[in-house]
Amino acid sequence: MRSRFSAFAVGDGAYLQRTWHPSTRPPLAGLDAALRWTSLEILETTGGTPFHTEGTVRFRAHYIERGTAGHLDEHSRFVRHAGEWTYVGAL
């Protein structure tokens, strides 16, 4: 989750595509140039250890858009695909 937030923050769409599960991956990761991602709070996690094949992350991502601060709250599902953690989508 932290690496995906960092990819959004620096505009690394290729990384976002690689870490998105193929069953839910959009054709292109939509990066909004008007958003500047500033910080991430991990609120809750389940699973996600080397012994798990799936897990969830509840987070709050903070941003600034056209001078106004805001945040995105999401509870996300991740699964291992080809040995790597991939983002499936919001719960």
Question: What predicted TM-score, i.e. pTM, was given to this entire model?
Answer: 0.91
Cα–chain-centroid distance for residue 33?
A: 17
Residue 1: band (very low, low, confident or very high) from pLDDT cuts 50, 70, 90: confident
Which CATH number characterizes residue 25's domain? 3.10.450.50
Total structural domains within the chain: 1
CB 53 within 8 A of CB 79: yes
Encode pLDDT of 50-70 as tens digits: 999 999 999 999 999 999 999
Residue whose C-alpha is closest to residue 76's, from 32, 46, 39, 53 = 46
- Domain with 6, as residue range(s), is 2-90
Q: List, as one string, the DSSP characters of 29-54.
A: ----TTEEEEEEEEEEEEE-STT-SE
Encode pLDDT of 25-35 as tens digits: 998 766 888 99
